[in-house]
Structures are given as structure tokens and as C-alpha cells.
Amino acid sequence: MGQIGDWGAGSTPQRGNVNYYNGKILWLKTGELNNGIVYDTEEKITQKAFQDCSLRMNKIGDVLIAMYGATIGKLAIVGKELTTNQACCGCTPYLIYNWYIFYFLMASRDSFIKKGEGGAQPNISRVKLVEHLIPLPPLKEQYRIVAQIEKLFEQLR
């Protein structure tokens, strides 16, 4: 998957620095991944935190995936530009439908959970994510596949 997009994780600005929090930049924690579209976050950071902590700005349409603990494999699509903590990895897709990646990752969640390493809080790394193989049909077929998946989900509601 490393060749289908630009992948990058976030970070957590130092909690004790009052100049880093209560700003206007959305900062997402993995517990907020909702397997849908994210438009807002519980916490906001400042421009200073963004600059000092080398945070990645995830763009509208990017795909987010949790890498740590009980949330491994939880997903979201970015609905408004945001940053994330280090337990979340974002993908800005290249010439691939973001919802196709989203549903592929959703179908791969059990595989990612099995790949999780660590003691009390198993995790997967960005490296493990990008090494994961993804079938890559033509773009038109990706749209058809996503439309079919969404049609099936609609029937379940």
C-alpha cells in the first residue's frame, strides 16, 4: 500500500505546554475514529503546536486508520482538515479512490489486529501498513465496487 498514497502518522504535543492546546486546529485521537467521516474533534491545538511538533495536516478525503491497542483498524475519512496523535496513520491517496482504500482497510482489520505486536497495548506500525498488499483494479472498477458495498450496507440499515 505504500505506493498508493502518502502515509504518515501524527504526534501528541506536550500536554504540559499551555501554548499548545485550545487552539483552532483539529487534533484527532484514535478513539474518535468513527468508521465514517470526521468533521470535528474533541480537542484543538494551536498553530504553535502544529509548527513545533511537526504535525501532519491531513486533507479532506484522506483515509485515517488506528494503529494502537483496542482501536487497531478503526477508520475514518477526513471531512475537514485535521491533525492526529501518533496512534493514527493518515493516507493521502494517489490515483486511487479513497473510499476503495477505506473499505479495503475495513475488510483487512482482522489481519491488522493479528499483526499487532506488544504487551499490554498491541500495535501495528506505519511500515506494516504500507507493506500490506492491496488489489488495485482500474479506477472505474474501484467506484463500481464501492457503490456495490454501499448498496449492500444500505440494505442492512
Cβ-contact 76, 33 below 8 angstroms = yes
Question: Which residues, in sequence order, are CB contacts of 13 under 8 Å at separation 6+?
Answer: 20, 21, 27, 45, 49, 52, 53, 55
pLDDT (0 to 100) of residue 91: 97
Domains defined for the chain, CATH in brackets: 5-156 (3.90.220.20)
The strand ranges marked E within the chain are 5-9, 21-28, 36-38, 43-45, 63-66, 75-78, 83-84, 88-93
Termini Cα distance of the chain: 31
Whether this model's pTM surpasses 0.85: yes
pLDDT value of position 1: 81
C-alpha 129/C-alpha 133 separation (Å) is: 9
Give residue 115's pLDDT.
83
Instruction: Report the DSSP beta bridge partners of residue 148.
Output: none
- Confidence at residue 60, expressed as pLDDT on a 0 to 100 scale: 99
Instruction: Mark the ranges of the chain whose per-residue pLDDT is less than 50.
Output: none
Per-residue pLDDT tens digits for 73-114: 999 999 999 999 999 999 999 989 999 999 999 999 998 888
Can you give the pLDDT at residue 119?
Answer: 67
Q: What's residue 126's pLDDT?
A: 87
